[in-house]
Amino acid sequence: MSIMDELIDILTLDPIEVNLFRGHSPPEERQRIFGGQVVAQALMAAYKTVGERTCHSLQSYFIRPGDPAIPVLYQVERSRDGHSFMTRRVIAIQKGEQIFNMACSFQRDEAGFDHQDAMPKVTPPDQLPDDVDRQSEELASVPEDQKRWLRRRPIEMRQVDPVSQLKPVAKPAEHFVWLRARESVGDDVALNQALLAYASDYSLLGSAMRPHGVSWMSAVQTASLDHIIWFHRPTDFSCWHLYAQDSPSASGARGFNLGAIYREDGVLVASTAQEGLIRRRS
């Protein structure tokens, strides 16, 4: 099974009862479930209850760390079924407690006004190294237990101006990352949105860390607190997408981050926002 097949399997939830689904995590060493996975699974659970509608926005909160060793139950509440819009609330449960919740809205296809910001001009992806290849070289000498993110991911990422993990220096909060699914999943709108949602949590919090000269391997504690996505236009996520990210503010041990996701041809397909914990370890 390819790494892409593994991710699709993870996003394929088991129906338990009406409005109740079960998801699982990949067999890899993690202390907590990756936030993007929970967002994507919750979105897929909601999609199972809306018929021929497309998600245009989701707003979510990470409440407790998820345990990757046990399944997650996703309970969908059908808040409203309107003519144009449907609203769903999804609650993720482990050990009888909420670990995450999401509100999401779906819309029937509809024509309307159309405009967007232009995509920033940055180094194209074919002139940049794969993140895993670049970090494998940088982290060749570190202990094996610190190399967990060097496993090749189903999402390929190429950073325009990366921060060194071992010797981070302060850089502007603006951050650009090219990303795409390593294999095509066809034209399924729900699955392509779920892949985008999954990938959108990888690097966004790092934008708030850049001005402070710290990295994921520094003495800093990090965690996503919330995650918001607006889906503007459908896309094939196996194509290259530019994730333009910025952190306008950090305060109170929290970093605030904004993102815009453009297809390589310049089409703006989604926008994101996230606040995350960035706390110096004592």
Helix (H) or strand (E) holding 121: none
- Compute CA distances 186 → 14, 168, 191, 263, whole Å: 22, 39, 9, 16
| CB 44 within 8 Å of CB 198 | no
Selected catalytic residue, list 193, 207, 245, 274: 274
Under DSSP, is residue 95 helix (H, G, I), strand (E, B) or coil?
Answer: coil
The string of DSSP letters for 148-182 reads GGGSPPSEEEEESSPPPSSS-----S-EEEEEEES
For this structure, is 274 an active site residue?
Answer: yes
Selected catalytic residue, list 193, 201, 247, 271: 201
Identify the CA nearest to 253 among candidates 275, 277, 219, 273.
Answer: 277
For the chain, where are the E strands, in sequence order? 14-17, 20-23, 54-62, 72-81, 85-94, 97-107, 155-159, 175-181, 220-224, 226-231, 241-251, 254-263, 268-280
Identify the CA nearest to 41 among candidates 63, 71, 69, 67.
Answer: 71
Selected catalytic residue, list 193, 224, 245, 271: 224
For this structure, is 201 an active site residue?
Answer: yes
Under DSSP, is residue 9 helix (H, G, I), strand (E, B) or coil?
Answer: helix
- Report the amino acid identity of residue 83: H
List, by residue number, the catalytic residues: 201, 224, 274
